[in-house]
Structures are given as structure tokens and as C-alpha cells.
Amino acid sequence: MFSKILVANRAEIAVRVIRACKEMGIRTVAIYSEADRNGLHVRLADEAICVGGPKAEQSYLNIPAIVSAAEITDVDGIHPGYGFLSQNAHFAEICESCNITFIGPSSRAIRLMGDKLAAKDLMRKTGIPIVPGSMTAIKSKEDALNTARRIRYPVIVKAAAGGGGRGMRICHNDGRLFNALMTCQAEAEASFGNSDVFVEKYLEEPRHIEFQILADKSGHTVHLGERDCTIQRRHQKLIEEAPSSALDTKLRRKMGELAVRAAKASEYATVGTVEFLLNRDGTFYFIEMNTRIQVEHPVTEGVTGIDLIKEQIRMAAGESLGYKQDDISLEGWAIECRINAEDPTNGFSPSPGRIVTYCQPGGRGIRVDTHVCAGYDVPPYYDSLLAKLIASGETRQEAIRVMQRALDEFIIEPIRTTIPLFRQIFRDPTFWRGQISTNYIDRLLGEGE
């Protein structure tokens, strides 16, 4: 087992990892930027090192500074959290060459799954349904046109190296397709340093269903059920639930088996997520695999009782899984809201600044994962997640009621947050009935592409 882990991240996920390490008797090192000197993760870790300026490129993405911090503090593992360097194959390789365990998959698996086209190709060969579309990067306008006409509009243009909901355009006709190609390629080059894009069928009104995978280094692989992440805005998740009201036992078993098969095909060892889009008629397609712990992991913890961060650390240390698929049972319902520093009444514009009043909900069925408190200055440099509010109950209805009263208790002032939007959603009868699709928020707010 590890004796000391450096947490190469900030905010709530750094706090989450440090807490798990403490409970496992592992010492921790926090890294921080000049903007995060007073961060909770800095206070909770056993040691802390400043790795650079406020911008992510100067600090949380600054590989030489992070590796130096790891060497100076003599750690034997690095936990990357999510975002930042968590899916950077080059960083994983450097860690290995310095004899420090990267707490995540091999650089090979990161590279393979980081390329959506390569991942789709592998899944097709493994017998997993993929969204119809091009199997290689688009080379010309004609190439794109032929694909779109073959699979029929609407189509979606996607960046092969895409992530975080960026680098995607929906098109309903040839004219839009040409524009989308150009803007997507430019955005992909600027954001991911890779301009490869592809075209696939745009599914209308699907649900986003993802399966949590857990695998050890000997190849034992299980799934921990699904998360329903259908409530999104601009392809970014806002609410996640486990389980999904769209799945029955039979469909859960089928999708779960395919998710495990997908993980095994990529020789995957650690925690990961296999993402699918599910149509109303029960057909579903693989879209991608995420090779890291995800923001929404607490809802799976809520229904399985398994601590995913501790399992991830155990797997990285070479321990074996110790249980089989049949040993895993799902109980109750858990829902998570991402409380972001954004103004939902003004196009979700960022809302950094000082939090003067902070009053967090609690009580039965509530978990809040956060790094903020009264007096905290929300920096403008990073993503806007302030807190994850997770409500649990025996049934979906009970979890929704717990969430409603927790949202009523939650006060974060004077900055703008997504709390009022969530209050609106949890009052909506359509949401209560579970009649949701990835277009739900657009419809609720009267937006759309």
C-alpha cells in the first residue's frame, strides 16, 4: 500500500481524495496555485507545495513543477482527480518513469480511450453497438457529405479528442454541415491540439446512461450499476442519478455486461466509466469511455455502499478486487446536483467573487462534497463547481423530496449559483415522472441550438 500520495488537483475532489487517504492511513501532499493558498485541500493535507501561478497552465497543468513537488516530498503515488492531468497519457508516463504510481489506468489505455474514433473502432470489433457514422477522421467536405447522406440528418460533428462537452455541433442540412466542420476543426485544434473530427448520427431525445467500472490489475472486472446523467446543458451534466428510472433489471444486466466487456477489451485496470446513449425504444450505443474518477461518483457510492476512491487507490496499489459481480447489490436511490458559480438567468455566465453567507444543508439523506465556506473567494481561473449536493432515499420520490428540502436550506450569497434552477427542476412534474431526455434543460429554459 502507498505510504504518501500527492493529490494533483484542487477544490472538492482534492478534499475528497485527501479524506479517503486519511481514513486509509496514507499521508498526503497537496499542490496549489497562488490563487488557492487558502484552499481547504491545502489545510487538510499533511504537506502542501505551491506549484505556480493562478492560471491552470502555470500550476495544475505544470507537469515539471508537479513532478518536482512529488520528488521533493518523496511520494509513492499521484492521484490526478478529474480534469487537469487526469487523462493525460504523457503525464502518466512521466510518473511511471519516476517510479511514482499514477493512480489511474495505463498510459496506453488513456491514449486509446482519449481518441473517440479509436475507442469506437475497438468497441465495434468487440461487438458493442456504436452510434452509426464515420469510422475515420473526416478528410474532405465530400467525405462528410457522403457520411451525412448515408446515415441521414440530423448528424453531429464531434472532435476525436473532445471532452467536457466541447467540440460538438449538431447539423440538420448540408449547409450547416460545412460550417460545423470548419468551426469544430478550429475548436478541436485550439482546445485539444488535434483537429480530427468525425460525423455521427445525432440521436434525438436520448438518455445518457453510464456504467461505473471497477477493475483490478489481474483483469477482474465488475460494474457497479448505472448513472443517469441525462440532465445536461450544452452537453455538460448538471444532475446525475443512480439508478436510472429508464432501466429494468434485464436492460441493466445487458448494458452492464457490455460495459464490462468494453473495459476488458481495453485491458482496463482501475475505476472507469463506459458511456452510452439510450433511445426510448431500448436501443443503445456506446459513445465513450472515461478513464478517471468522475464528478458524479458519489451517487454510485450512495447505492452500492462502496467507497470508489479507496477502491481506486487499492487497485492502483495492486490489490485484488475481492468480490464478484453477484456480490454487488444496488439499494435505494441517490441524486446529485452540481452547484456551480454560474448565473442560470444570464446564459450560465461565470459568477466568481466572494461568498459572504454560506449555509449548507444537512440531516438524514444528505451529503455535501465541497471546498467552500463563508469568506471563500471563488477564483475566476478554474471550473465553476462549488459543491456537489447528494440526496439519498429508499425510492426516487423520497430522494427527490430530500433534495427539495436541502435545496431550500442551501444559502450561498451574494454570488449567483445554479441552486434556483435546481429548485425549479425538482418542482417540475415532468422531472418527477422521469420523462427526461438530454434536451430537457433547453426545453425548460426555452433555449436550443
Residue numbers of the site for ligand ADP (CB under 6 A)? Answer: 131, 156, 162-165, 200-203, 206, 208, 232, 235, 275, 277, 287-288, 438
What is the C-alpha separation between 200 and 59, in angstroms, rounded? 36
Question: Is residue 113 a contact partner of residue 89, using CB atoms and an 8 Å limit?
Answer: no
DSSP-assigned letter for residue 433 = T
| Minimum gap (Å) between residue 145 Cβ and ligand ADP | 18
CA gyration radius for the chain?
A: 21
| Minimum gap (Å) between residue 204 Cβ and ligand ADP | 7
- What letter represents residue 141's amino acid? K
Catalytic pick from 292, 314, 367, 396?
Answer: 292
Minimum CB distance to ligand ADP smaller for 8 or for 441? 441
Grid cell, residue 219, equals 483483469
Distances (CA, A) of 437 to 170, 280, 396: 16, 9, 17
Minimum CB distance to ligand ADP smaller for 162 or for 302? 162
Minimum CB distance to ligand ADP smaller for 288 or for 336? 288
| Minimum gap (Å) between residue 175 Cβ and ligand ADP | 20
DSSP-assigned letter for residue 280 = T
Minimum CB distance to ligand ADP smaller for 275 or for 311? 275
Half-sphere exposure of 158 (CA within 13 A, CB side): 25
Question: Is residue 354 a contact partner of residue 416, using CB atoms and an 8 Å limit?
Answer: no
| Minimum gap (Å) between residue 235 Cβ and ligand ADP | 4
Residue 169 is among the residues annotated as catalytic for this protein: no
Question: Positive or negative CA dihedral for 364, 406, 445, 236?
Answer: negative
| Segments in 3-106 forming alpha helices (H) | 11-24, 40-44, 63-73, 89-97
Report helix angle 297-304 to 308-316, nearest 10: 100
Minimum CB distance to ligand ADP smaller for 82 or for 358? 82
| Minimum gap (Å) between residue 323 Cβ and ligand ADP | 29
**What residues are labeled active site?**
292
